[in-house]
Structure 1
Amino acid sequence: MPIGKIVTLIGANGAGKSSTLRAIAGLVRNKSGSVTWKEKHLMGLQPEHVLERGIALCPEGRRIFPHLTVLENLKLGGYSCKNKDEEAAGIERAFTLFPRLRERSWQKGGTLSGGEQQMLAVGRALMSDPELIMFDEPSMGLAPILVEEVFNIIEQINKEGKTVLLVEQNAFAALKIADYAYVLEVGEITLQGPGDELLRDPRVVSAYLGG
């Protein structure tokens, strides 16, 4: 996938999109094929070692710790930081990107709104300052106005130099911001190309955009 770009992976439920991200992150074992990032093989690595290679996952369903504070959740995301200065820089990065998290830093994660919990999940994934950040269904369960905010944030993260791999059921929103895109069907890539081209492709329009 192109470095420094937003790449999206779209497809129907059960196509293997989330499984692809989990395989890259080392959360599931691959039965075949290979996973490489910047010419380094990731197959067989534990999740913490994938993170050390500069790859972070913002998981589907947010997966925050509801009984921990915002600050404690962020610190858990920074477990790979080498020292307190790196951890503090990660926290400040999250608070700069999401001022509402700063305001709620001592609030329990479970008391946040859905949108705020998604911000916390993104901030936590950014704590390790990854080169590649993977988003799994970041708009799930959010109101339309918050969906737009989430996609604006993804674009901002990309502009700050992060490569983004995005899995998203909202194919229109995903393709709209994608530099490049893949269509996955039952574990196989059936279409690929620039996001704006797939946005106009009759096959994509018919299958995923309600055309």
Structure 2
Amino acid sequence: MGDCPLIDLGSRRRPVAPTGIAIRDARAQLFDAAERILLRDGPSALTSRAVTEEAGVAKGVLHRHFEDFEDFLAELVHDRAGRMDAEAAALREAAGTGTVAGNLADALTALFGSVAVAMVALVTFRDELRRRLRRTWPAGVPVLTEAVDVIASYLTAERELGRIAADAEIDLLAPTLIGSAHLLFADRQSAPPEPEAVRRAVAAVVGGAVREPGA
């Protein structure tokens, strides 16, 4: 760990950053600080100084863990995209319960009511960040492509249960749902859309494919 000091924890000794923050926790702290800035002030407010000040750490801490600020932002986007695994599992478990449209509306509201829209704005705002992401993510915006996979997995599960038509084109339905939801939630200056507006948008996309009783 180079010249990093050590804290004596009895039988365990753990390297810490110069400010006293454990190195293994520093990345998470910096990511959380960047997310707060992004949600509060938008992508134009994200700078290395703003992130370290928000996190309450010395400026050098960020550069000890990342090649440069664009590398930090690329890792932030990947980290937040990776968090969708839990959401995907929860949505798949909902298959066969409630209604298809209701489950989709709830999932899209949870997804786009979080940091997803802000991450899309960040990637759109920074040209160099898009170039960095292309190294490991050749197509699409990571958060949105992960979201499409989440919705497609759920629709596939519902199709297997007979609640979605066997000939439904899930590869088209999933990105259409994500695109529709993104348009509803993308305006950071306005209040989030009403639940009924989200349900109507979902029904417009999947209504013809749903095979629930009374649908």
TM-score normalised by length of structure 2: 0.28
Q: Which has the higher contact order (CA 8 A, sep 6+)?
A: 1
Q: As a proportion of its length, which structure holds more strand?
A: 1
Richer in helix (by share) = 2
**Higher Cα radius of gyration:** 2
